[in-house]
Amino acid sequence: MDELAVALKIDPVELRLRCYSERDQNEDIPYTSKALRECYRQGAEAFGWSNRKAGPRSMRDGSDLVGWGMATGIGKPCRCRRRPASC
């Protein structure tokens, strides 16, 4: 997604927001809870995303290359039984 965003000259966060879905694409039902837009906003603010240089290999710390990208992952919730402390 980050490489596609560079090719399209779109910020990677903006590209993800344009592709954002309010519905589960497999089940075609709305998500019961989802705060991904707000997570993107908070993450971008916390990392100073707007101050980064967008081009690949464009940021350095001395002679070291520094890369900033973003990713999103999902997973199914899992409930586990708590084991007694005596176990």
What are 52-63's pLDDT values in tens digits?
887 778 889 999
**DSSP 8-state code for residue 82:** P
Percent of the chain with pLDDT over 70: 87
Task: Give the E-state strand segments of 1-87 in sequence order.
Answer: 23-24, 29-30, 60-61, 64-65
Q: How far apart are CA 33 and CA 22, in angstroms?
A: 9
pLDDT exceeds cutoff 70 at 6: yes
| Vertex 16 angle, CA 14 and 20, to 5° | 115
